């Protein structure tokens, strides 16, 4: 990766300390804790702890169907974030960054990893009342394709596609 490709907020030293790898069977507890922490910060009115079993089953089904969950780890192997994507369809299913790593450019690194493995342009669903995520995806060139409703929460969503 050249200096021009380094996500904003990251340095070459920070980037060198991060490794990306596929999710392993022993990763789920750390991954679920990070997912719950990240989503609870973004949407504090919802109980994401209650969705832990859903997340496990969801990722297992996604991966059994050819999806990939890529984990971003620090130098010591600690989980900093992850992205789950269906490479065949380009559907970005999940992206989560630990609260401590937010703002450092890790989401951009994970999004770039999803772009590299996807065989189709990325698309995703995002909650309409998640301004941080919306700003991030807009900055990354995503545009609104349609509106919808999340079947689990009942919250309004936008389906975004890579512009």
Q: Could you tell me the residue ranges of all domains in the chain? A: 3-120
> Looking at the whole model, is its pTM more than 0.85?
yes
Quickly state the pLDDT bin for 15 (edges 50, 70, 90).
low
The 3-state DSSP class for residue 79 equals strand
88: DSSP letter: T
Which tens digits make up the pLDDT trace of 48-98?
Answer: 999 999 999 999 999 999 999 999 999 899 999 999 999 999 999 999 999
Q: Which fold has domain 3-120?
A: Aminopeptidase (3.40.630)
For 46, the token pair is 């919802």
7: DSSP letter: P
N- to C-terminal Cα distance for the chain?
Answer: 23
Residue owning tokens 């369809």: 89
Separation CA 95–CA 129 (nearest Å): 17
Q: Which residues of 58-83 are buried (b: 16+ CB within 10 A; e: fewer)?
A: ebeebeeeebbbbbbbeeeeebbbbb
For 39, the token pair is 């989503």
Q: Which has the higher per-residue pLDDT, 4 or 14?
A: 14
């Amino acid at each position: 990766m050249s200096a021009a490709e380094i996500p904003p907020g990251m340095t070459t030293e920070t980037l060198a300390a991060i490794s990306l790898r596929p999710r392993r069977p022993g990763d789920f507890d750390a991954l679920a804790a990070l997912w719950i922490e990240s989503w609870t910060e973004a949407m504090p009115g919802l109980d994401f702890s209650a969705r832990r079993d859903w997340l496990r089953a969801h990722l297992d089904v996604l991966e059994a169907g050819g999806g990939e969950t890529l984990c971003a780890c620090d130098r010591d192997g600690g989980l900093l974030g992850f992205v789950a994507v269906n490479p065949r369809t380009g559907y970005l299913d999940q992206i989560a960054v630990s609260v401590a790593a937010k703002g450092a450019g890790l989401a951009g690194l994970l999004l770039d990893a999803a772009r590299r493995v996807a065989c189709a342009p990325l698309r995703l669903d995002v909650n309409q009342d998640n301004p941080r995520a919306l700003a991030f995806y807009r900055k990354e060139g995503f545009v609104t394709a349609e509106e919808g409703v999340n079947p689990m929460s009942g919250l309004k969503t936008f389906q975004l596609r890579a512009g």
